[in-house]
Structure 1
Amino acid sequence: MDANTLIDINQQKQLLAKTISMPAGYLDDYHQHPWHQIIFPVSGLLQSEIDKRRVVVPHNALLYIPAGTPHKSVAFTHTEFSSLYLNPASKVTFCHAPKSCLVTPFFKELVLLLLKQADAHDNKATENLLRVLNDQIIAAANYDIPLLKPKDRRTLAIFEGLIDQPATRLTLAQWALQVGASERTLSRLFAKEFNQSFRAWRQHLRLVLSLELLSTNCSIQNIALNLGFASDAAYISAFKALFLNTPHKYRQFMLQTKTARSLSYCQ
C-alpha cells in the first residue's frame, strides 16, 4: 500500500510508519504527502531532491520533509529506509522547513521508539514523544552531504563508470577521451554543477560508496583499497572530514540501527 493511501485510511492517527525498499537505480519521481515525513536510512544509498536542493542521506542522518513539499529520491544501490508520517492535524506543531539532520544517539533511539510506537494505539505518551521529536529536529545540526549524480550526459558517463569501478585511476584527460569532451569542458562542468574539482568530486563519490561496503564484513583496509584510496589512513581521514565520524563508529551506528529495527518488528 502506498503512503498516501495509508494516510487516507488512518486520518485519526497521529503517527504512521512504513518501510520502503528501492532497487538500485530506482527513481521515485516528484511527489508529496499530506503529512510530514521523516526519512530514516536503514541500508543502501539514497539521494533526495527537495526545495531546490539535492542531498545524500547517510545512515547517521535523517531527512525531515514538511507536509505538501514536493520531493523525489533516487537509489544509488539497493536501498531500504523507514519513513515516519506525522499528522499535521495533531496537537504537535512541526517545523515548516525541510531539514537534513545529524542524528545523535538519543535522536536515533527516539526515532526507533516512534517507529515501534506507530503500531500501538495513540495516547498521551505518543503525543509527548512527538513533541520531543520536534524539539530534536529544531536543535539538530544541519547535515547536508551535497549531491553526487550529474545531469550532463558526459559527466553522467563518468559517474556511471566510477559506480562500476570506483578504484579506477583514470585522469580527467583520460575520461575526456572516453566521453567525447575536452578536459577543460569537463573541468568547467564539475565546477558549475558541484562547485568542486573532478578529484574532489571523485573522492566524495568514493566516500559515499564506502557507506554500503561498511554494512558488509569487508575490513576497513580492503574498503579503502577497493575504492582507490592510497591507504586505510587516507580513507579514514577523508571519511571523518565528510561524515563527522570514523568508519568504525559509523559501522557500529548502522549495525545498531538495523538490529533495533529488526527487534521492533519481532515484538
Structure 2
Amino acid sequence: MLANELIKTLPERQFLTKAMLMTAGYLDDWHEHSWHQIVFPVKGLLQSNIDDICTVVPHNAMLFIPSDRIHKSEAITDTEFLAIYLNPNQSVDYPAQPKSCLVSPFIKELILLLFQQSSTSSSDSSITNLLTVLRDQIVIAPNYEIPLLIPRDKRLLAIFSQLKEQPDTSFTLKEWAKQVGASERTLSRLCANEFGQSFSLWRQHVRLVLSLQLLDSNLTVQDIALELGYGSDSAYIYAFKKMFNQTPSKYRNDSFGHRVMFNSLCPSN
C-alpha cells in the first residue's frame, strides 16, 4: 500500500512504518505527505530533493522531511530503505525544518524498535515516549550533508552513468567532451553551474560517494581504491578523509549490519 493511502487508512496512529526497495535509477518524483517522514537507507544510496535542498543519503545517514514539504528521491544504486511516517497531530512536536543527519547506534536501535512496535499493541504512552526520544535525537544529531551528485544536463548525466558503471574510467576532459559531443569549455562551464566546482573535482566527488556502497562489501580498501581508478590506496584514503572527515576504515567500522534487519522487516524482498 502506498504511504499516503496507509496514512488515510490509519489516521489515529502516532506513526507508521514501511520497508521499501528502489532499484538503481528509480525516481520517486515530486510528492508530499501530510505526515512527517524519516528516510533511512540500510543499503545503497539515495539522492533526495526537498524544495531547493538536494543531498545524497548513504546507508549510515537518515533524512527527516517535515509534513507537507514537496520532495523527490532517486536511487543512485539499488537501495533498501526504512521509512517512518510521524503523525503531526499527535503528542510529539517535531522539527519544522528538514535535516540530514548521521544515524548513531542508538538511533538505529530506536528505529528498529519502532518497527517492532508498529506491529504490536503497545500503549499510547510508551509509543509517545519512544517518539519523543526519536525527536530529541534528530534535533541533537550532527548534520550530515553530501551535496548534489546526479546532474541535470544530459551530457554530464551520460558521464555520470558511465562513471557509475565503471568508476575507474580514466578519460581526460578532452576525451569525455568527444564522448558526449560537447567542448571541453562547455563541460567545465556545466560543472561550474551545476556543482560550483571543476570537472575533475566533480568526478572525484562521484567516485568517493560511490565508494560508500563499496565499503559495505567484502572488498579491501586497496581493492576499492583500484576499482575507483586511484593509483594507490593512500591516494583514495587521503581524498576520502578530506571529503568525509574520517578514513574509509573508520567509516566501515562505524557502519552496521543492516542487511539482516531489512530482510526481517521486509521478508518478501
For the aligned pair, the TM-score class normalised by the smaller chain equals over 0.9
Cα deviation, residue 263, structure 1: 5.6
Once the two structures are superposed, what CA deviation does each residue of 1:34-71 show, in whole Å capped at 9, x if it has no partner? 11100001111111111211110012210000111111
Partner of 2:12: 12
Residue 85 of structure 1: aligned partner: 85
Query: How far is 1:125 from its partner?
Result: 1.6
So what's the TM-score if we normalise by structure 2?
0.92
Distance 1:263 1:249, change over 3 A: farther
How much does 1:238 deviate?
A: 2.1
- Change in Cα spacing, 1:24 to 1:263, as seen in structure 2 (3 Å) is closer
- 1:177 aligned partner, one-letter code: K
Number of the residue aligned with 1:99: 99
TM superposition score normalised by structure 1? 0.93
Q: 1:10 to 1:252 in 2, by over 3 A?
A: farther
Determine the structure 2 residue equivalent to 1:144: 145
Q: Is the 8 A contact 2:19 2:262 kept in 1?
A: no
Residues 208-264 of structure 1, C-alpha deviations (whole Å, 9 max, x = no match): 111222222222111110111121122222223333433233334444333444566
Q: Which residue identity is paired with 2:67?
A: A
* 243 and 111 in structure 1: CA distance in 2 versus 1, 3 angstrom threshold: farther
Paired with 2:187 and 2:218, the residues of 1 have a C-alpha distance of 36
Q: Could you say if the C-alpha distance between residues 144 and 238 of structure 1 is closer, same or farther in structure 2, counting changes exceeding 3 Å?
A: same
Give the superposed CA RMSD: 1.8
1:238 maps to amino acid? A
Q: Separation in 2 of the partners of 1:113 and 1:265?
A: 15
Deviation larger for 115-124 or 17-26 = 115-124
Q: Tell whether 2:227 aligns with 1:221.
A: no
For this pair of structures, how many residues does the alignment match?
266
Unaligned stretches of 5+ in structure 2? none
Counterpart for residue 61 of structure 1 = 61
Q: CA deviation digits over 1:107-145, x for unaligned, max 9?
A: 222222222222222421211111111111111222110
Q: Which residue of 1 aligns with 2:108?
A: 108
**Structure 1 unmatched runs, 5+:** none
Distance 2:11 2:60 in 1: 31
Letter aligned with residue 156 of structure 2: T
Task: Report which stretch shifted further, 122-131 or 110-119.
Answer: 110-119
Given residue 114 of structure 1, which amino acid in structure 2 is its aligned partner? Answer: L
Distance of aligned partners of 1:125 and 1:244 in 2 relative to their CA distance in 1, 3 Å threshold: farther
